[in-house]
Amino acid sequence: MAIDIHWIRDDSALAEHCQRWRQLPFVALDTEFMRVDTFYPKAGLIQVGDGQSAFLIDPLLIQDWQPLAGLLEDPAVTKVLHACSEDLEVLARLTGSLPLPLFDTQLAAGYLNLGFSMGYSRLVQEVLGIELPKGETRSDWLQRPLSETQVSYAAEDAVHLAELYERLRPQLSEEKNAWVLEDGAELVVQLRREIDPYLLYREAKLAWKLSRAQLAVLRELCAWRELEARERDVPRNRILREHAMWPMARTQPDNLVALARIEDMHPRTIRQDGEFLLDLIKRTGSLPPEEWPPAVPEPLPIEAAALLKKLRAIGQAEAERLDIAPELMLRKKTLEALIKSGFPEGPYQLPDSLRGWRRERMGQALLDCLADAGEPI
């Protein structure tokens, strides 16, 4: 069956359609973008499905994104996306807004126990019985005109995403639907949360092995790389490769030859920023102790593995009761943060990352499990 495709190529058409979409209970949203040599995604196409037709918005021709921002923020219209973290970045970059309420069909599939982290094509095959053509993921979405194959691929995404919602939503209980929307809201919160570049060092691999003086250098390197990547709009590793930062912080080279010997150091970085990096290392290396960051905690010892397994079993048992994909229940990072809060003898505290329905349903059981584990036999 041929898809009814409508192009939106100017501000007045976008405003008109957004006004109409705001009368609907839901719209399906998808984006096509390029992100090969840039820090930020470059939008090539925005697709909207209303359950009947596919609307293709050309972002290269639109100037006023306020009508779409209004639609994204309209609490009366559910926005349907699939595995949407990068789509959210594209929409935020274009419109300054993010979609709420947000219904992610990948999450919905998990709550219906169809599978965890299912790709779009597989979900369409599973739920709608439609085999999609091979994707245009490597296409140039900034080229004009787009090829017929690209247009067809983009339009099908919008149409089938709306059909997925219409099929999945009735299968969800009101409680599970609320959880899907809660998780969607959490995705939006995470994207809105400004990451302090000067705290990124805490996530660096092996940071716990460095002294506080060395961590001060790592902190500056991580922050500088992040800020430069944003400023120059290039990928982080184009500024400074990730695996070069830890040995730089540990050995603190003081000349270009020593800097060039650093593992995974790209010659381009030496040419462009070598002198600056040496100066940064020298300045940071002479900071007084009161300006050093706190030590990064060591990873959990091997003895904590059995405890982690017990906690995961609580999530798996609850998943079975609720008929939900077990991977949706308790994230490993959350459980590790919980154990770190009091290992080995307690008391333990629920981490902030355990929120909403998961905290309500499993929080006390997790604390009880840890309390039992700490009692002498």
Q: What is the set of active-site residues?
A: 30, 32, 87, 153, 157
Q: How far apart are CA 315 and CA 360, in angstroms?
A: 12
* Helix 305-322 with 356-374: angle, nearest 10 deg: 140
Q: Which pair of tokens denotes residue 306?
A: 């059995």
Q: How far apart are CA 332 and CA 342, in angstroms?
A: 16
Q: Which pair of tokens denotes residue 133?
A: 């053509």
Q: How far apart are CA 202 and CA 294, in angstroms?
A: 10
Q: Which residues lie below 8 Å from residue 216, measured CB to CB, with a gap of 6+? A: 284, 285, 287, 291, 292, 293
Q: DSSP for 133-154, please give it.
A: PPP-TTS-TTSSSPPHHHHHHH
Determine which helix (DSSP H) or strand (DSSP E) holds 370, and give its type and residue range: helix 356-374
Q: Which pair of tokens denotes residue 205?
A: 């691999």
Q: Let me know: does 218 contact 281? Beta carbons within 8 Å.
A: no
Instruction: With CA atoms as reference, report the closest residue to 155 among 163, 167, 144.
Output: 163
Q: Which pair of tokens denotes residue 138?
A: 């490597």
Q: How far apart are CA 83 and CA 117, in angstroms?
A: 8
Instruction: With CA atoms as reference, report the closest residue to 243 among 220, 227, 224, 266.
Output: 266
Beta-carbon neighbour count of residue 364 at 10 Å?
11
Determine which helix (DSSP H) or strand (DSSP E) holds 351, and give its type and residue range: none
The type of residue at 300 is: L
Instruction: With CA atoms as reference, report the closest residue to 4 among 45, 49, 46, 61.
Output: 49
Tokens 């019985």 sit on residue: 129
- 29 φ/ψ angles, rounded to the nearest 5 degrees: -130, 140
